[in-house]
């Protein structure tokens, strides 16, 4: 295995374990540097003992390079594979029934990998499609896409789909639900995209009544297909409390306007909590099990959402990403307007 491939695999495995981002970034930087310099130059640096002189190569990344060149990388990676392995428990059957992932990010916004790399990983995981849902313009901290950039992204996806068929990259967006319940992208674009995830990313602490109205207005839009990470909570580190809203009213609206409620699989979100998911089922909502992956390794996180769905008794027929791509697109294009 080449040093670059070894570093790339380490990045993948650390990402799936939600390792500290600085640590992952160090391996990613080293990988990019090694690719840039080329195998011969790196091998020469190793022979000369000058790897450590390269800006961007430290003791840990240097060790992976040395193991790849001298032998021993397989054992090292096998260990890391075992350490970062994601066990699918009671959700095994559901996971097998999923055909794609409806919420993912690329370097077009705040993701860490190109669309093509994300798509290849989704293929390796057995998916038929991946919906790319980069952020909308007002989420500037995440390099949200304005109209022009979104149109460029659509061109790229069209090109990639010619190469990757029969696998399909479906077009999408994670559109911000603005404070007044409106959506942060032009309606003609929302209409054109295959899948629209709508999420609250700002003013998470607004009073419950206002937040309820805000969310209901968004899910009532015929362009919105999935309500993303509905409570906004974070359960890792310092954490973040749930937004306050009347879940009965929001889920009743999701059911009425056929907007799926997302099980967001990110380990630090695990959103919605189980009791709210059960409530969404009481209201007969559709469900989408999505990773919200910002890196290839994170596409494996669907296992977490499948386990949760199985625990709560979500039937596969209720889950929109058990649908083949064409059926999914037919469903997203046909929401009731009243
Ligand atoms: Zn989000
Ligand atoms: Zn997202």
For 275-320, write each residue's pLDDT tens digit.
Answer: 999 999 999 999 999 999 999 999 999 999 999 999 999 999 999 9
Question: What is the pLDDT averaged over residues 109-125?
Answer: 97
Question: What is the pLDDT averaged over residues 95-112?
Answer: 97
Strands, sheet with 226-227, edge to edge from the N-terminal-most edge strand: 100-101, 129-132, 168-176, 195-199, 226-227, 260-264, 287-290
Please give the mean pLDDT across all residues of the chain: 96
41, two tokens: 């130059």
Question: What is the pLDDT averaged over residues 145-174?
Answer: 98
d(CA 132, CA 312): 27
- Please enumerate in sequence order all residues whose Cβ is within 8 A of that of 334, keeping only pairs 6 or more positions apart, or say none: none
d(CA 18, CA 83): 12
- Please enumerate in sequence order all residues whose Cβ is within 8 A of that of 81, keeping only pairs 6 or more positions apart, or say none: 13
Q: How remote is the CA of residue 7 from the centroid of ligand 1, in Å?
A: 28
Q: How remote is the CA of residue 133 from the centroid of ligand 1, in Å?
A: 10
d(CA 221, CA 108): 25
Point out the ligand nearest to the CA of residue 105. 2
What pLDDT score does 73 carry? 96
What pLDDT score does 249 carry? 98
Q: How remote is the CA of residue 126 from the centroid of ligand 2, in Å?
A: 21
How confident is residue 237, by pLDDT bands cut at 50, 70 and 90? confident
- DSSP 8-class letter at 134: P
Residue linked to tokens 């313009």: 137
* pLDDT for residue 65 is more than 90: yes
Beta bridge partner(s), residue 288: 262
What pLDDT score does 311 carry? 96
* pLDDT for residue 338 is more than 90: no
What pLDDT score does 253 carry? 98
Q: How remote is the CA of residue 103 from the centroid of ligand 2, in Å?
A: 6
Which percentage of the chain shows pLDDT scores above 90? Answer: 96
Torsion of CA 295, 298, 302, 308, to 10 degrees: -130
């Amino acid at each position: 295995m080449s040093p670059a491939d070894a570093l790339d695999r380490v990045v993948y495995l650390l990402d799936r374990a939600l390792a500290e981002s600085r640590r992952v970034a160090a391996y990613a930087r080293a990988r990019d540097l090694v690719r840039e310099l080329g195998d011969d130059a790196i091998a020469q640096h190793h022979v000369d003992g000058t790897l450590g002189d390269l800006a961007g190569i430290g003791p840990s990344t240097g060790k992976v390079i040395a193991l790849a060149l001298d032998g021993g990388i397989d054992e090292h990676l096998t260990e890391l594979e075992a350490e970062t392995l994601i066990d699918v428990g009671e959700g095994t059957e559901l996971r097998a029934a999923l055909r794609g992932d409806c919420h993912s990010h690329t370097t077009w916004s705040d993701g860490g990998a190109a669309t093509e790399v994300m798509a290849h990983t989704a293929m390796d995981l057995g998916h038929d499609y991946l919906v790319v849902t980069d952020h909308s313009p007002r989420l500037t901290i995440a390099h949200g896409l304005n109209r022009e950039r979104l149109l460029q992204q659509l061109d790229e996806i069209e090109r990639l789909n010619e190469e990757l068929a029969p696998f399909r990259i479906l077009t999408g967006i994670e559109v911000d639900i603005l404070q007044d319940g409106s959506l942060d992208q032009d309606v003609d674009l929302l209409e054109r995209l295959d899948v629209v995830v709508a999420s609250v990313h700002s003013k998470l602490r607004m009073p419950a009544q206002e937040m309820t109205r805000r969310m209901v207005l968004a899910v009532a839009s015929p362009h919105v297909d999935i309500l993303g990470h509905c409570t906004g909570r974070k359960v890792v580190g310092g954490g973040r409390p749930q937004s306050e809203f009347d879940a009965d009213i929001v889920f009743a609206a999701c059911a009425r306007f056929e907007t799926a409620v997302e099980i967001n699989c990110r380990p630090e979100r695990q959103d919605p909590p189980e009791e709210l998911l059960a409530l969404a089922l009481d209201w007969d909502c559709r469900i989408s099990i999505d990773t919200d992956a910002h890196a290839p390794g994170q596409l494996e996180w669907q296992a977490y959402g499948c386990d949760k769905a199985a625990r709560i008794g979500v039937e596969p027929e209720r889950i929109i990403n058990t649908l083949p791509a064409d059926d999914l697109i037919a469903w997203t294009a046909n929401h009731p307007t009243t």
